[in-house]
Amino acid sequence: MTPDDPARAVEAALFAAEAPMTVDALAQATGVADVSAALVRIQHDYADRGITLVEFGGRWRFQTAADLAHILRREREEPRRLSRAGVETLAIVAYHEPVSRAEIEAIRGVAVAKGTLDTLIEAGWVRPAGRREVPGRPLTYATTPGFLDHFGLASRRDLPGLDELRAAGLLDPLDAITSEVESGGDAA
Amino acid sequence: MTPDDPARAVEAALFAAEAPMTVDALAQATGVADVSAALVRIQHDYADRGITLVEFGGRWRFQTAADLAHILRREREEPRRLSRAGVETLAIVAYHEPVSRAEIEAIRGVAVAKGTLDTLIEAGWVRPAGRREVPGRPLTYATTPGFLDHFGLASRRDLPGLDELRAAGLLDPLDAITSEVESGGDAA
Amino acid sequence: MSDPAPETLTVSLDAWEGPLDLLLALAREQKVDLREISILQLVDQYLDWLRSAESLKLEVAADWLVMAAWLAYLKSALLLPKDPEADPDPELLALRLQRRLQQLDAMREAGARLMARDRLGRDVFPRGAPEGLRLVRRPQWQASLFDLIAAYGAVRARSAPVLHVVARRPVMTLDMALARLEAMLGTGVDNATLVSLLPPGGDPAWRRSALASSFVAMLELARQGRLAFAQEEAFAPLRVGSVA
């Protein structure tokens, strides 16, 4: 690279950034005109290295190569392990959002334990997403950009198997399918 | 780089590290036998890039190339109005300098919050001006040349005196209030 | 339908999050594809399991028993000759239970797939100590010279010793009131209210003073026999007249 190569500035900015950056933010930070070209160039340069340039939902960041996980994880504390209830609740929020607590409970067949949603909110993956305008005005929940970041998703459309589940009708509103079962099962 | 190139692991470990790492720490973290060779290799790879690998006191770290430091941290000035307490305290310092905090409080008739003087010092208008040689040796404060600049004064002597303030009606407010109260009382 | 109670399943309530959780596990024992499970067989499996669960704590068991009752009802409805009037249709109920199990299974699967992704902070790592690109906002304090001297004026005014000077007020003295009233009597006054004899205008404080002085003047002139006054009752207007 030559000293005035614009890719150098984009590379440095991404390297120093505390959060993923959009093309616009990069252009503003570096004054580089064609940020996209620089990003393509950098991504290519890092293709085989221990660090890679990735993009999720229009925001770019450097991260360590996925195949080196075993080396890097060794030294670190395992991040919060989610309980099974936590994992299921997170999946339900992600695939059904916005979703109320009652709807989560209807799918799981059990009450959502106090602390399950709290843990997900505290992890920065789930947020309250307004009230539903039905009797009782229940609060709904949805995922956050931090959720997409953590799981390496560009958007909710990238959720694994989303299209198949939708095609199979498994993401349909619950009351249409299960209201009868609920009246039996929910009491359960 | 090939996927099993040891430099990849060293590179990733340094990238993810929260503090600079020694060769030993890198060897332990990555299991790479010849960390030094990997470091030399990486340093060479990054020589012309926006990121460089540097060593200080036996500890290695990535950092932004020196010539790109300007994009890292930019300051922007935000105009903010000084609070009333701030203006009053500044005025007392200007008229009475050098003046101790206790004296400022005596003149204002109100306690001076610590943050108020700090703000004035941060604004570059007030400076500590030595201790007074009396019991307790209180710190005194005085104005700075920056104060004169900001307020367009050649010297403190340009500040209007009490007589001039009175002539300008700036010492009147209290009189006005008092007579107001009196006539009100009479009418009653 | 005669499947033995599944020994692979722990006979303990604690192992399951609830009846639906157990039902799903039982269903998975039947088939990999939940769309092809036998609901009747599932009902029997569930009821068998419940019978063998000896450690059933009553307070925990309520949910399980309600589900058992519902499943027993579903089973009988499915086995009985088809009643076209049945509402709801047992076939539909069975289908809905199946869908519900599929939904839970789908979410369980989705959760597992999410967790298996390359997760930031577990599998892939961001830069450990980024320098940061943040914009540092430095406050630039602003105040004008006028603010400054006005503030000083306010401080001095506030803290200056407060001197109470009673301002000279506009009054009508007794002498003035006497002179006025005497002059009026000369021109002849008959049954006029005292108030009507006061000069018009003036601020309220002055009028009060004029009224008080004129009242005293009236008393004085009455004492000298040069004026008569009357009042019909307490607080009624005072009426004044010349003594001819």
The rounded Cα B181 to chain-centroid distance in angstroms is 45
B65 and B12 share a domain? yes
Q: Is residue B78 part of a domain?
A: no
List Cα–Cα distances, A11 to A46, B68, B179, in angstroms.
11, 10, 71
Rounded Cα distance, C239 and C244, in Å: 16
Q: Does A33 touch chain B (CB under 8 A)?
A: no
Q: Are C139 and B124 in contact (CB under 8 A)?
A: no
Nearest partner of C39 among C81, C10, C78, judged by Cα: C78
Which residues from chain C sit within 8 angstroms of residue B122, using beta carbons?
139, 141
Averaged pLDDT for residues B30-56: 91
Min mean pLDDT across C8-17, C133-142, C178-187, C226-235 is at C8-17
Q: Is residue B1 part of a domain?
A: no
Nearest partner of B117 among B87, B147, B159, B97, judged by Cα: B87
Q: Cβ separation of A9 and B62 shorter than 8 Å?
A: no
pLDDT, chain C, mean: 80
- Count CB-CB contacts under 10 A for residue C224: 10
Which residues from chain C sit within 8 angstroms of residue A109, using beta carbons?
17-21, 100, 104
Rounded Cα distance, B157 and B16, in Å: 59
A10 and A61 share a domain? yes
Averaged pLDDT for residues A115-129: 87
The band of B78, judged by pLDDT with boundaries at 50, 70 and 90, is: confident
The band of A178, judged by pLDDT with boundaries at 50, 70 and 90, is: very low
Question: Cα B57–B60–B62 angle (5° rounding)?
Answer: 135
Parent domain of A181: 162-188
ipTM of this predicted structure: 0.61
Q: Is residue A78 part of a domain?
A: no
The band of A80, judged by pLDDT with boundaries at 50, 70 and 90, is: low
Min mean pLDDT across A128-132, C50-54, C234-238 is at C50-54
B55 and B91 share a domain? no
pLDDT higher than 90, residue A34 = yes
Minimum-distance CB partner of A178 among C18, C73, C96? C96
Which residue does chain B place closest to C120, by CA atoms?
B16
- One DSSP character per residue, B87-114 reads HHHHHHHHHH-SEEHHHHHHHHTSPPPH
Q: Where among A72, A102, A120 does a domain terminate?
A: A72
Q: Are A63 and A51 in contact (CB under 8 A)?
A: yes
- List pLDDT tens digits, range B110-150: 888 888 999 899 888 999 998 988 888 999 999 998 888 88
Q: Which residue has the tokens 């201790």?
A: B131
B43 and B102 share a domain? no
pLDDT higher than 70, residue C228 = yes
Minimum-distance CB partner of B13 among A13, A48, A72? A72
Helix, strand, or coil here: B89?
Answer: helix
* pTM for the predicted model, two decimal places: 0.58
Rounded Cα distance, C194 and C164, in Å: 35
A135 and A187 share a domain? no
Question: Cα C219–C222–C228 angle (5° rounding)?
Answer: 115
- Whether omega for the bond prior to residue B98 falls within 30 degrees of 0, making it cis, is yes
Which residues from chain C sit within 8 angstroms of residue A79, using beta carbons?
119, 121-122
Q: Does B67 touch chain A (CB under 8 A)?
A: yes
pLDDT in the model for residue C243: 78
Averaged pLDDT for residues A146-175: 85
Q: Cβ separation of A16 and C130 shorter than 8 Å?
A: yes
Q: Is residue A89 part of a domain?
A: yes
A19 and A53 share a domain? yes
Averaged pLDDT for residues B147-168: 79
pLDDT in the model for residue C60: 60
Of the candidate CATH numbers 1.20.1260.10, 1.10.10.580, 3.30.460.10, 3.30.300.30, the domain formed by C174-242 belongs to 1.10.10.580
pLDDT in the model for residue C84: 72
Tell me whether strands C227-230 and C192-193 are parallel, antiparallel or unpaired. Answer: unpaired
Chains that touch C (3 or more CB pairs under 8 A): A, B
The band of C166, judged by pLDDT with boundaries at 50, 70 and 90, is: low
Q: Are C163 and B112 in contact (CB under 8 A)?
A: no
Per DSSP, A166 falls in state: H
Which residue does chain C place closest to A91, by CA atoms?
C111
- Alpha-carbon dihedral B149, B150, B154, B157, rounded to 10 degrees: -130
Q: Is residue A138 part of a domain?
A: yes
- List pLDDT tens digits, range C65-108: 888 888 888 888 888 877 777 677 888 888 888 888 899 999 99
A140 and A94 share a domain? yes
Nearest partner of A106 among A122, A120, A123, A88, judged by Cα: A88
Look up residue B35 and give its amino acid.
Answer: V
Structural domains counted in chain B: 3
Minimum-distance CB partner of B123 among C136, C141, C151? C141
pLDDT higher than 90, residue C186 = no
For chain C, the domains span 19-116, 174-242
pLDDT in the model for residue C55: 61
List Cα–Cα distances, B31 to A75, B24, B35, B62, in angstroms.
11, 10, 9, 20
The rounded Cα C29 to chain-centroid distance in angstroms is 53
Which residues from chain A sit within 8 angstroms of residue B49, using beta carbons?
1, 8, 11
Which residues from chain C sit within 8 angstroms of residue A169, using beta carbons?
99
Q: Does A63 touch chain C (CB under 8 A)?
A: yes
Q: Which of residues 137-176 of A touch C (CB under 8 A)?
A: 149-153, 159-161, 165, 168-170, 174
pLDDT in the model for residue C7: 46
A141 and A187 share a domain? no
| b (16+ CB within 10 A) / e for B63-93 | bbbeebeebbeeeeeeeeebeebbbbbbbbb
Q: Cβ separation of A159 and C114 shorter than 8 Å?
A: yes
The rounded Cα C92 to chain-centroid distance in angstroms is 46
Rounded Cα distance, A101 and A83, in Å: 17
| b (16+ CB within 10 A) / e for C86-111 | eeeebeebbebbbbbbbbbebbbebb
Q: Is residue A59 part of a domain?
A: yes
| Backbone φ and ψ of B158, nearest 5° | -75, -10
The band of C4, judged by pLDDT with boundaries at 50, 70 and 90, is: very low
Distance from B39 to chain C by nearest Cα, in Å? 18
Which residue does chain A place closest to B11, by CA atoms?
A50
Q: Is residue B79 part of a domain?
A: no
Which residue does chain C place closest to A86, by CA atoms?
C111
Domain harbouring A62, CATH code: 1.10.10.10
Q: Does A62 touch chain B (CB under 8 A)?
A: yes
Q: Is residue A128 part of a domain?
A: yes
pLDDT in the model for residue C139: 72
A89 and A138 share a domain? yes
